[in-house]
Amino acid sequence: MVNNDILYETALRQFDAVAEILHIEDGIRERMRYPKRSLIVSVPVKMDNGKIKVFKGYRVQHDITLGPSKGGIRYHPNVDLKEVSALAMLMTWKCALMGMPYGGAKGGVECNPEEMSQDELERMTRRYTTEIVQVIGPDKDIPAPDLSTNTQTMAWMMDTYSMQQGNTVPGVVTGKPLLLGGSRGRAEGTGRGVAYMVMEAARVLYKDLRGLRVAIQGVGNVGSVAAKLLNDQGCNIVAVSDVSGGVYNSKGLLIPYLLHHLRESKHVAGMRDTDPITNEELFELDCDVIIPAAIEGQITEKNADKIKAKVIVEGANGPTTPEADKILQDNKVFLVPDILANAGGVTVSYFEWVQDIQYYFWSEEDIQRKLRGVMVDTFNKVYALSNKRGIDMRTAGLMLGIGCVAEAKKMRGLYP
Ligand code: GLU
């Protein structure tokens, strides 16, 4: 299980190091270290067996300097205040880096969604939304899907909020079903962005994408979409894994069949023409690109040195510890950091919110063109800064994101 204390300390250490490089003045630095607002709520739910169970829910708004706060809601047994606070901070830097008029937030409920029925999940979502209703809204804080939440979760959240307002408010959450004001391209947004980042990394390092051997940890919404798009581009997806383990084929997995297998049996294990591997083995494979697209804390000082791939593109939030980062840098691994690599999701969320507010919807083509534009532009900015200063891509990305928030804070001044 991932240690949330470490995740939180990591977020602070990363911030402190970058604040030092940027010479951010003490007062502003201090204000940026802590969340603006943290809410802990009890979420009582009548379970299917008639008993009442009280879950713990959270919503942390790290910063709102550039606009309303934005970030996902996760349902996971590991959710706590530290995890949500660390991820909210990452969202602030991510939104600023991508040039969006948002601050960062994150929320979640400590629960095990795999053991809950749809009805229980609906009741929990509606009660959680009600408990945080005062702090969310299209101009305040806009939730979205994250681990184990999806379009249905967002539909329930939007409905609950709207019923309490007395009118339909599509812009209160993003990642909704298309019919309810969702955006084309949102569900694939994160995976598509990850694929674009692999393409960019290949462009600057290898020149050719075709034949690159890619291993992906996690085949959820992010990993499976990236697998499909990269396979279409001529990459060989040699391994994928999920919580139950992974599958490997040195010649490349048959991706259409993998997706079919996943729909049928929910897990990758047992897919035909593959050898079973563990999640640990996936990171040690002889391959060119690794995409950690599961949860945080997967690349650590224990396995970083064993990584043979020359490129890592972080589909998940916080998959690499600072100790591992250092080892990877020493080994000259080119790492596209989470706040850039997985920003395709929140970027299309931003497009969704803009469309909702205007009640005017864009074509799939428009979305993909704009998403690619933003992702590639930002990659180029981060890459240029990393080359200019001789620093890694994570530090460069954080410098741009954190620098932007610090400058805005300075311009706004301190109230009163
Ligand atoms: N949960 C996603 C993330 O970590 C998306 C957030 C959003 O769309 O607001 O970036």
**35-167 and 189-341: identical CATH topology:** yes
193 Cα to the center of ligand 1, angstroms: 12
The third-level CATH classification (topology) of the domain covering 189-341 is Rossmann fold (3.40.50)
Nearest-5° angle of CA 315, CA 279, CA 295?
A: 35
Q: What is the pLDDT of residues 282-339, one digit of tens each?
A: 999 999 999 999 999 999 999 999 999 999 999 999 999 999 999 999 999 999 999 9
**Ligand 1 test: best mutation among 73, 83, 136, 190, most atoms within 8 Å of CB?**
190
Ligand 1 in contact with 84 (CB < 6 A)? no
Q: SS3 of 313, please?
A: strand
Q: Which has the closest alpha carbon to 274: 285, 208, 294?
A: 285
Task: Tell whether pTM > 0.75.
Answer: yes
320: β partners: 299
- Domain 35-167: assigned CATH number: 3.40.50.10860
Among candidate residues 94, 106, 176, 228, the one labeled active-site is 106
Instruction: Report the separation in Å between the CA atom of 51 and the middle of ligand 1, taken as the mean of its atom positions.
Output: 33
Distances (CA, A) of 153 to 16, 146, 169, 194, 282: 35, 10, 15, 23, 31
Contact between 2 and 389 under an 8 Å Cβ cutoff? The reply is: no
The per-residue pLDDT of the chain, averaged, comes to 97
CA dihedral 59, 63, 67, 70 (to 10 degrees): -40
Residue for token pair 């997706």: 259
- 103-110 and 69-76: which strand pairing? parallel
Report the largest interatomic distance among the alpha carbons of the chain, rounded to a whole angstrom. Answer: 66
Q: Which pLDDT belongs to residue 2?
A: 64
Contact 337, 394 (CB under 8 A): yes
Beta strand 103-110 with 141-145 is unpaired
Crossing angle of the two packed helices 344-358 and 81-97, in degrees rounded to 10: 70
Euclidean distance between CA atoms 337 and 334, whole angstroms: 10
| pLDDT tens-digit readout, 36-74 | 999 999 999 999 999 999 999 999 999 999 999 999 999
Domain boundaries of the chain, sorted by first residue: 35-167, 189-341
Report whether 157 contacts 175 (CB < 8 A): no
> CA distances (Å), 307 to each of 249, 302, 345, 353, 397, in order?
18, 10, 27, 39, 23
Residues of the chain with confidence (pLDDT) below 50: none
